[in-house]
Structure 1
Amino acid sequence: METEEKINSNVHHGHNIRRTRIEKNMNQDILSEKVSMSQPTVSRYESMRIIEDDILERFAKALNVPKDYLKTLEEDAPSIVFENNSITNNGGNNTQAGLNDEISNDNRITNNPIDKITELYERLLKDKDDMIAELQQHIDFLEGKNNKQ
């Protein structure tokens, strides 16, 4: 029992609902309509540390995430965005998007978020290398100036 409490000590159901709602660009009014509650009630649930499973299930369905995601996500954990990846392709068959690509409602395959992170990281490394090269040029210039004196 102590282990279970220890594991769940960093979990805040209400914060998880709020965090997921914000990640999905949804305000409390829209969420309140989806869960058939008033906006003040949604706000009150977002401030609660522990929420009953049946209420969590309603929020999970409205936010299109698994109930366990809202129930177990720790406060400092990285975000995971869940999308409804079922689409109807031109042939009329339902398909599921792979884990590496997201498919939007207009059947476009968008970039994998990890690819975007990698691209940004590579850009940061290049900027750092450029700054180092520029600083080295300044050092060389100053050293050359001092040698002439």
Structure 2
Amino acid sequence: MKTEEAVINSKVHHGRNIRRTRMEKNINQDVLSEKVSMSQPTVSRYETMKVIDDEILERFAKALNVPMDYLKTLEEDAPSVVFETNTVNNNADTISTSGSGYVNENNTNYNPVDKISELYERLLKEKDEKYIALERRVQLLEDRINGK
């Protein structure tokens, strides 16, 4: 089965993937058209196409700073992902990161590491509370056995 036929029979829509990524990065069609050396109406037309050639997809991927496979394989109902890019500023010897993790279905950014840390802290607190409750029960049972 050809790649084009596979895309036609799937939930993948190259143009919508380009548009979705462009919008997630807050880039308008005019800016993107400059980055890919096309007119704005041409970019708009590509955003409506279900199947786009690899050469053109590669241009959009580079302009949007995402892997080409992301644009080529992302299914329509997949969760949003924000790609982080690291840049080094030689003058100040600092590293800055753009992007802030992932975007959930409510279009709010969150960092998965922060979420995992938050959940871990909550689990530790619950474990400690259960441990204290069990110690109290054991003490009560020992007191009953010893007749106190």
TM range (shorter): 0.5 to 0.7
Check whether the contact 2:7–2:51 (CA below 8 A) recurs between aligned residues: no
Amino acid at match of 2:11: N
TM-score calculated relative to the size of structure 2: 0.61
Residue correspondence of structure 1 range 75-90 to structure 2 within 5 A: 75-88=76-89
Amino acid at match of 1:14: G
Alignment partners' CA distance in 2, 1:5 and 1:30: 31
Amino acid at match of 1:41: T
Alignment partners' CA distance in 2, 1:41 and 1:65: 20
Alignment partners' CA distance in 1, 2:23 and 2:115: 21
Check whether the contact 2:8–2:50 (CA below 8 A) recurs between aligned residues: no
Alignment size in residue pairs? 110
Check whether the contact 1:13–1:46 (CA below 8 A) recurs between aligned residues: yes
Bigger radius of gyration, 1 or 2?
Answer: 2
**1:75 aligns to what SS in structure 2?**
coil
Unaligned stretches of 5+ residues in structure 1: 96-102, 122-149
Alignment partners' CA distance in 2, 1:7 and 1:116: 38
Instruction: Please identify runs of 4+ aligned residues in structure 1 that moved more than 4 A.
Output: 89-93, 115-121
Amino acid at match of 2:26: N
How has the CA–CA distance of structure 1 residues 23 and 6 changed in structure 2, closer, same or farther, with 3 Å as cutoff? closer
Residue correspondence of structure 1 range 28-47 to structure 2 within 5 A: 28-47=29-48
Q: In the alignment, does 2:102 pair up with 1:104?
A: no
Residue correspondence of structure 1 range 125-140 to structure 2 within 5 A: none
Alignment partners' CA distance in 2, 1:104 and 1:2: 39
Q: CA deviation at 1:118?
A: 6.5
Superposition RMSD in Å: 3.4
Check whether the contact 1:17–1:70 (CA below 8 A) recurs between aligned residues: yes
Unaligned stretches of 5+ residues in structure 2: 102-109, 120-148
Q: CA deviation at 1:44?
A: 0.2
**Partner of residue 48, structure 1:** 49
Alignment partners' CA distance in 1, 2:7 and 2:45: 25
